[in-house]
């Protein structure tokens, strides 16, 4: 089957070629992402393999009339028009588990960086040449309360780490598991109570209708004054303009964000401006992202929480299994 694989590095290409060597595929590796603005000249592919930074909406997928399968190298699949795929009988496979510890470790790196002003400390020496801790006072994590929103695989890893720092842990989950709570030594709260009690709130929920903008002006108003927000989940779980307001008003003490709404535009600001295509984009959110970037108490990283050699290998292993399973007539890891 003719297969297009988008956005892989050279070593990833070699790794996938080896993993897929036992099945019959005509592989084409293409640079960059796939979206309505970046349709390749060749569109007769039967399998598309993409990462989460591609946008496979109806207008894009309609260009691939022979398409039978999409293999996304991500846990999330909100970048794919599942309704269209169901309508056209296109199989979609994802990677449900690859980096529980990987993402949790990165979330904790953001927590530590904000609590101890690590970026500000390094930047102060580099920019001023002054070896001084003036203005760099932080706070201990020991004894603080961390609220984990979404106690799934990643959330559970984060809880274990927080326990190692002698933090009090509370959690919120749409489907609370009391056995997990007992095993890990934490208590569940309602979402509202978690916000009121937490010094640090870390988001680990998938993006779906129920979680879209669950952090908004109303919920930020419930948070403990000076609390820190960490988001390594999905940008659209947080309403960007409300976050800016909460930070500017001092409701929040800081934020560590590995994901943003409209983060695709940040990758190519100039291309967005020159294209003149604003349909489907929220310009106010794009401007708010730049406001966040300039805030001293905000750390923004480029959707890199997943980005370790080990995690990427696990992603590629599962992706190869997904494609092989489809070719054998037994597709696996189908989004529910």
What would the mean pLDDT of 17-38 be, rounded to a whole number? 94
For 187-236, the DSSP string reads EE--HHHHHHH-SEEEE----STTTTT-BSHHHHTTSPTTEEEEE-S-GG
CATH number of 100-300: 3.40.50.720
Query: Is the pTM above the cut of 0.85?
Result: yes
For 150-173, the DSSP string reads --SHHHHHHHHHHHHTT-EEEEE-
Separation CA 286–CA 328 (nearest Å)? 44
What would the mean pLDDT of 245-265 be, rounded to a whole number? 94
Task: Name the CATH superfamily, with its identifier, for domain 2-98+309-327.
Answer: NAD(P)-binding Rossmann-like Domain (3.40.50.720)
Residue 101 pLDDT exceeds 80: yes
* Half-sphere exposure at residue 48, Cβ-oriented, CA atoms within 13 angstroms: 29
Query: Taken in order 249, 254, 259, 264, is the CA torsion positive or negative?
Result: positive
**DSSP 8-state secondary structure symbol assigned to residue 145:** E
Residue 44 pLDDT exceeds 70: yes
What are the tens digits of pLDDT across the range 278-312? 666 788 999 999 999 999 999 999 999 999 999 99
Residue 139 pLDDT exceeds 50: yes
Task: Give the per-residue pLDDT at 330.
Answer: 96
59 is catalytic: no
**DSSP 8-state secondary structure symbol assigned to residue 38:** -
Domain ranges for the chain: 2-98+309-327, 100-300
Residue 148 pLDDT exceeds 80: yes
Q: Could you tell me if 146 and 169 are in contact, meaning their C-beta atoms sit under 8 angstroms apart? A: yes
279 is catalytic: no
Separation CA 153–CA 171 (nearest Å)? 13
210 is catalytic: no
From 156, 234, 251, 262, active-site residue: 234
Using CB atoms within 10 Å of the CB of residue 149, give its burial: 0 to 12 exposed, 13 to 18 middle, 19+ buried: buried
Task: Give the per-residue pLDDT at 270.
Answer: 46
What would the mean pLDDT of 224-250 be, rounded to a whole number? 97
Q: Could you tell me if 276 and 64 are in contact, meaning their C-beta atoms sit under 8 angstroms apart? A: no
Residue 15 pLDDT exceeds 80: yes
Q: Do domains 2-98+309-327 and 100-300 have the same CATH topology?
A: yes
Separation CA 187–CA 169 (nearest Å)? 7
**DSSP 8-state secondary structure symbol assigned to residue 60:** H
Read off the tokens for 149: 């929103």
Could you list the beta-strand ranges (E) of the chain.
Answer: 2-6, 26-30, 47-50, 69-72, 91-93, 145-149, 168-172, 187-188, 200-203, 227-231, 252-257, 298-300
Read off the tokens for 317: 């292993």
Separation CA 33–CA 239 (nearest Å)? 25
From 73, 157, 251, 303, active-site residue: 303
């Amino acid at each position: 089957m003719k297969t297009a694989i988008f956005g892989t590095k050279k070593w990833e290409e070699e790794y996938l070629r080896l993993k897929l060597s036992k099945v019959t595929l005509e592989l084409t590796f293409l640079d960059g992402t796939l979206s309505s603005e970046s349709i390749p000249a060749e569109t007769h592919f039967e399998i598309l393999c993409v990462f989460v930074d591609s946008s496979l909406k109806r207008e894009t997928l309609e260009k691939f009339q022979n398409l039978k399968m999409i293999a996304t190298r991500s846990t999330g699949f909100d970048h794919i028009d599942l309704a269209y795929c169901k309508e056209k009988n296109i199989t979609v496979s994802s990677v449900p588990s690859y980096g529980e510890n990987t993402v949790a470790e990165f979330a904790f790196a953001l927590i530590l960086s904000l609590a101890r002003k690590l970026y500000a400390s390094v930047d102060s020496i580099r920019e001023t040449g002054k070896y001084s801790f003036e203005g760099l006072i932080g706070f201990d994590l020991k004894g603080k309360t961390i609220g984990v929103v979404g106690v799934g695989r990643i959330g559970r890893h984060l809880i274990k780490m927080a326990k190692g720092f002698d933090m009090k842990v509370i959690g919120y989950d749409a489907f609370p598991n009391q056995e997990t709570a007992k095993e890990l030594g934490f208590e569940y709260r309602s979402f509202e109570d978690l916000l009121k009690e937490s010094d640090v709130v870390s988001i680990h929920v998938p993006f779906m209708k129920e979680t879209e903008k669950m952090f908004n002006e109303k919920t930020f108003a419930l948070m403990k004054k000076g609390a820190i927000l960490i988001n390594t989940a999905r940008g659209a779980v947080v309403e960007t303009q409300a976050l800016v307001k909460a930070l500017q008003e001092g409701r929040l003490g800081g934020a560590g964000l590995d994901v943003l709404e409209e983060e695709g535009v940040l990758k190519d600001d100039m291309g967005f401006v020159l294209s003149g295509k604003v349909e489907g984009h929220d310009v106010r959110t794009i401007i708010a992202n730049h406001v966040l970037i300039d805030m001293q108490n905000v750390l923004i990283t480029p959707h890199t929480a997943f980005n370790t050699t080990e995690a990427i290998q696990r992603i590629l292993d599962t992706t190869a299994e997904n494609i092989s399973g489809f070719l054998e007539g037994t597709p696996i890891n189908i989004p529910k």
